[in-house]
A = this chain, B = another copy of it.
Amino acid sequence: LTPTQQADRLRILTRLESLVTLSDEERAAVLRLPVQTMDLPTDHEIASEGDTPSRCVALLDGLACSYKVTADGSRQIIAFHVPGDIPDLQGLQIGTMDNGLATLTPCRVGVIPHEALREVCHAHPRIADALWRETLKDAARFREWMVSVGRRKAFGRTAHLLCELVVRLRAVGLAKGDGCELPITQIELGDALGMSAVHVNRTLKELRSAGLVTHQHRTLVVHDWAALVEAGDFDPAYLHLPPPPVR
Contacts and interface: CB of A to CB of B under 8 A. Distances in A.
Interface of A: 50, 66, 68, 70-72, 74-76, 78, 90, 93-94, 96, 98-99, 121-122, 125, 128-129, 132-133, 135-140, 142-147, 149-152, 193-194, 233, 237-238, 240
A68 B149 CA distance: 13
A79 to B, nearest CB: 8
A167 to B, nearest CB: 15
Contact of A233 (B70, B75, B138, B146): B70
A78 B147 contact: yes
A238 B72 CA distance: 18
A142 to B, nearest CB: 4
Given A70-B152, A143-B68, A143-B78, A93 B237 contact: no
Contact of A194 (B66, B71, B133, B149): B149
A238 B98 contact: yes
- Judged by DSSP, the binding face of A is helix
A25 to B, nearest CB: 17
Q: State how many copies of this chain the complex holds.
A: 2
Q: Give the 4 A-B residue pairs with the shortest CB-CB distance, closest first.
A: A150-B194, A142-B142, A139-B139, A71-B233
A38 to B, nearest CB: 25
A117 B146 CA distance: 29
A139 B150 contact: no
Contact of A94 (B99, B133, B151): B133
Contacts of A133: 93-94
B149 A150 contact: yes
A147 B68 contact: yes
Contact of A147 (B70, B96, B139): B70
A144 B99 CA distance: 9
Given A151-B194, A194-B149, A94 B125 contact: no
B98 A144 contact: yes
Given A142-B139, A233-B71, A93 B194 contact: no
A76 B150 contact: yes
